[in-house]
């Protein structure tokens, strides 16, 4: 099979047909936005959390943010590897994110955990939807999204347990 190269995605070669590149990009690009937004929200909350469990919540948020940054890089690099230029610019993230801005001021640890749990759950649900049928087009991208979904659902469990 020869590599395909479409003008819209040149100069990176891909083994996917242009229509398949587009189908995968339509699922992965919004995930890049979701993950960058989660990282930014987590950092905003990290700086402004208050409460008697400040230290543990503050440190937990750093762990989450680091994971979102890793995942966003993996998804962006997957896009690149199929010949599609990823877009993680602030304008794209702000314009495409379905989430409201994170609180700008001091936030009690319970509110912080609720905000993060809500956002992680929303991203996990959208990731689950993006997986549907992806394996018919690109199993490597499907595997990546399955791995991320597993991680998001584990994070949701850990955040939810702090609210119980």
pLDDT tens-digit profile of 90-106? Answer: 999 988 888 888 888 99
Alpha helix (H) residue ranges in the chain: 18-48, 54-81, 90-96, 109-131, 139-161
pLDDT tens-digit profile of 20-55? Answer: 999 999 999 999 999 999 999 999 999 999 999 999
Q: Which residues pair with 107 in a beta bridge?
A: 49
pTM more than 0.85: yes
* CATH superfamily membership of 18-161: Ferritin, core subunit, four-helix bundle (1.20.1260.10)
Query: 73 phi and psi, to 5 degrees?
Result: -65, -40
Omega before residue 52 within 30° of 0, cis: no
């Amino acid at each position: 099979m020869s590599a395909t190269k479409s003008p819209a995605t040149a100069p990176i070669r891909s083994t996917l047909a242009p229509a398949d590149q587009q189908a995968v990009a339509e699922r992965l690009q919004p995930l890049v936005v979701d993950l960058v937004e989660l990282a930014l929200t987590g950092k905003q909350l990290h700086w402004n959390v208050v409460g008697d469990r400040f230290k543990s919540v503050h440190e937990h948020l750093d762990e989450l943010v680091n994971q979102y940054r890793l995942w966003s890089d993996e998804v962006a690099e997957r896009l690149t590897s199929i010949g599609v230029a990823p877009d993680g610019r602030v304008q794209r993230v702000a314009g495409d994110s379905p989430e409201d801005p994170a609180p700008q001021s001091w936030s009690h640890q319970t509110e912080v955990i609720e905000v993060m749990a809500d956002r992680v759950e929303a991203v996990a649900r959208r990731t689950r939807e993006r997986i549907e049928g992806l394996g018919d087009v690109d199993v490597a991208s499907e595997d990546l999204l399955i791995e991320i979904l597993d991680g998001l659902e584990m994070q949701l469990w850990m955040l939810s347990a702090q609210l119980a």
